[in-house]
Amino acid sequence: MLKLWICGANGQIGQAINEVLDPLEFEVFNSDKEELDITDIDEVISFGEINRPDVIINCAGVTHIDVCEEDPKLAYKVNALGARNLAIISAKLNAKIVQLSSDDVFDGRSLDPYNEFDKTNPMTTYGRSKLAGENYVKEFTQKHFILRSTWVYGKGSNFVSHFLERVESGDRISVAADQFGSPTSANELARFILYIIKTNEYGTYHATCTGTCSRYAFAKEILALTGKSAELKAVPTKESEFSVARPAYAVLDNFIMSIIDVYDFPDWKSALKDFIQGGN
């Protein structure tokens, strides 16, 4: 049985991994901030040495863009140094590590999907701290999988949940039509994580559902699938009181996955349908 240590287990990706994994296949240690703060190197080493996981999955992070801008020290402490601490214990235990990262390591100015070989150029504190986390993981351990994803939704706070809350309010909702991405189900990302950790195909991956849409098209699809109605207006981000400023182009090309040719993500619409209709 593979021993997994999931850090940030209460977040939406941590919860999704717990939901999709087969408990007969994995022994799981879940921890979140309350049980184990990943920024405390001594705690991290002691937890690792006691439990001796085969794989560490780092889902912990400061994920609110505004919080990162307001408190850059916290952003770097958790997103960069926390990742470093987990990489250090991974190397010590000869364990594999999965580091979750983001399209925010790119500047969002491209007109084509970013692949794993494209130059990073983060524009926000969140993006810079995530890139620093990636670099620490590469520096401290070889057996790493760095997975960059985008527009993730699952059980938690995300575009789908915020949008549905607004729909309930009955107000007209103006949604950005100039932000593009690939909505990615946390459960689909979790399935890929559980797949890749059994391989030795280390390195950096773009890991998103396929296909691209605007925030506005994403919102329209949520309405269609839930059967709810709302007055929607397509607007530029700066005129939207609903859409926060985000990279204009957050589309990632799952290029390495396509080379290895063993794993396919579903398209964003079918994954969204599964999530909304089946709750997964």
* Cα gap 207→96, rounded to integer Å: 18
Angle at 72 between CA 119 and CA 48, to 5 degrees: 85
61 touches ligand NAP by CB under 6 A: yes
Applying CB under 6 A, which of residues 4, 13, 137, 160 lies at the interface with ligand NAP? 13
| The binder of ligand NAP chosen from 63, 174, 179, 243 (CB under 6 A) | 63
CA gap 230, 173 in Å, rounded: 7
4, 5, 6, 11: which one binds ligand NAP (CB under 6 A): 11
User: Under DSSP, is residue 21 helix (H, G, I), strand (E, B) or coil?
Assistant: coil
Which of 29, 76, 140, 151 is the binder for ligand NAP (CB under 6 A)?
A: 151
Rounded to a whole number of angstroms, the minimum distance from the CB of residue 231 to ligand NAP is 26
Of 154, 173, 184, which is closest to residue 229 (Cα–Cα)? Answer: 173
For residues 33 and 82, the answer to whether their CB atoms sit within 8 Å is no
* Nearest alpha-carbon partner for 14 in 33, 41, 40: 33
Residue number closest to ligand NAP, CB atom: 11
Q: How many CB atoms lie within 10 A of CB 197?
A: 18
Site string for ligand NAP, 116-145 (x = CB under 6 A): --------------x---------------
Stretch that binds ligand NAP, among 146-154, 213-221, 230-238, 269-277 (CB under 6 A): 146-154
Query: Footprint of ligand NAP on this chain (CB under 6 A)?
Result: 7-8, 10-14, 32-33, 37-39, 59-63, 78, 82, 100-102, 130, 149-152, 156
